[in-house]
Amino acid sequence: MNEDVNEELTTGELITIGELAGRTRLSAKALRLYGDRGLLSPAHVDPRTGFRRYGPDQVERARRIALLRAAGMPLARVAEVLDADDARSTRLLDAYWRERRAEHAARRAAVAYARHVLTGDGPAPYAIAERGVPEQKVVCVRRHVGAAELPGFLAEATEVLFDHLRQAGACLSGPVFATYHGLVGEDSDGLVEVCVPTRSPVEPGPRIAVRVEPAHREAYTALARRDTGYAAMAAAHDAVGAWPQARGHVRGGPSREVYHPNWATASSPDERVADVACPFTPAPRVAGAPAAGRAEPRPAAGDGRVPDGRG
């Protein structure tokens, strides 16, 4: 007997998976997935045949799941919304929509930058300046990650490094930054190194390296909270990475993200929370030529904590 098409078999007021699919326009495959994830567990499963049956009240829950999934909401968040009371579910929906709007804005900025690169039309979307960075000792953790793993790794690595400093009685002496030694994308995992500067004596540990970051010049662009989505950050990395060569300088290493102390606490979308920077070796100055760009100090040291997720 086929579970998908059998709409006659019922037990009391329970309905089959086929009946539920017909009432909700969800496929039996989707209903099984939701059951396996705990979103829509069957009211009864026949121990002999494995057929699933649902209560009539589950039709409405299935309908709500379908609505939230149509809005692009991940299953874990669907469960959170459905299991909340009315007031909290509304807040969760509003928060989800704010995140999607921010993501859309970031993608729009990335498309504008791509158009500028491809056609040369319009002004450059990123204002890029330069500054000097002194030599500093840094404590680091590195790992190959893809785009989906990146936010979690940034948060985890920062916590590991802060804990290592605490155990050594060491203090943070500058902003936390992450160096991207390879491209991190949807289709590519790259080596990412999270670094915390310190002037205190500190030894390496398991998975933790200690090294000296040499003094250098770097090109950078400042990012507001609204610009910290993955797409916008990727475009900023490309723009900053292309800046030195376009001015005759020699790129001095991989680009990096420098996190301001308010990275985790900024509430305004216009608040500056990070810089994307790229080290470079300046081209020899021609006598009488003006200096390129403008100089600005790096952000001060602070908590610098990287939250679980971007923008």
User: Are 225 and 269 contacting, i.e. CB atoms less than 8 angstroms apart?
Assistant: yes
Domain spanning 15-82, CATH class: mainly alpha
Question: How many degrees, rounded to 5, is the angle at CA 306 between CA 300 and CA 308?
Answer: 160
Q: What is the pLDDT of residues 143-185, one digit of tens each?
A: 999 888 998 999 999 999 999 999 999 999 999 999 999 988 8
Q: State the pLDDT at residue 3.
A: 45
Query: Is 129-281 in CATH node 3.20.80.10?
Result: yes
**Contact by Cβ (8 Å): 207, 160:** yes
Cβ(272)–Cβ(222) below 8 Å? yes
Q: Average model confidence (pLDDT) for the chain?
A: 85
* Three-state secondary-structure class, residue 284: coil
Q: What is the spatial distance between Cα 184 and Cα 127, in angstroms, rounded to a whole number?
A: 23
Maximum alpha-carbon separation in the chain: 93
Give the C-alpha separation, 223 to 114, whole Å: 17
pLDDT in tens, 93-141: 998 888 888 777 777 777 777 777 787 776 667 899 999 999 999 999 9
Band (pLDDT 50/70/90 cuts) for residue 261 is very high
pLDDT of residue 112: 76
Mean pLDDT of the 79-89 span: 91
pTM of the complete model: 0.66
pLDDT above 60: residue 15:
yes
Q: How confident is the model at residue 6 (pLDDT cuts 50, 70, 90)?
A: very low
In this prediction, residues 284-295 reach a mean pLDDT of 57
The domain limits of the chain are 15-82, 129-281
Q: 47: exposed, middle or buried (C-beta count within 10 Å: 0-12, 13-18, 19+)?
A: exposed
Please give the helix or strand (H or E) that residue 199 lies within, else none: none
Tell me the DSSP string of 260-276.
-TTTTT--STTSEEEEE
